[in-house]
Amino acid sequence: MGGMAHSVPPRVPLYSRRNHARANQKEEVKMKTHRQLAVEALNAMRGDDGYRARNAFKGCTEKEMGVLYGHTGLTRAQVLAQCESREDMFDSAIEWVKNAK
């Protein structure tokens, strides 16, 4: 390093209007309303069982839909109806949360 002088970048104050605006902007992105959190939670609980059941049974005939499915004790049609009923319940709850005052 010898006798070479190194340039030092100018100090930027920790609190400046620009930094403050950026910090507030980041906080706005991070902060979610209770409503948003509730909708996210309901969507997570809703799951993808209906999607999976529809994909699993999409090529089945009416006769095949009447056959018992796995160890459930239910027919494929009953499994699908149960999944769709559960989806409808969660969709209604999500709409209720979105429209709540």
pLDDT profile of the chain (101 residues), mean per 10: 63 63 60 91 95 96 96 96 97 95 81
Q: Could you tell me the two tokens for 59?
A: 């090529």
Q: What pLDDT score was predicted for residue 23? A: 61
Q: What pLDDT score was predicted for residue 70? A: 93
CB 46 within 8 A of CB 87: yes
Q: What pLDDT score was predicted for residue 12? A: 59
Q: What pLDDT score was predicted for residue 30? A: 65
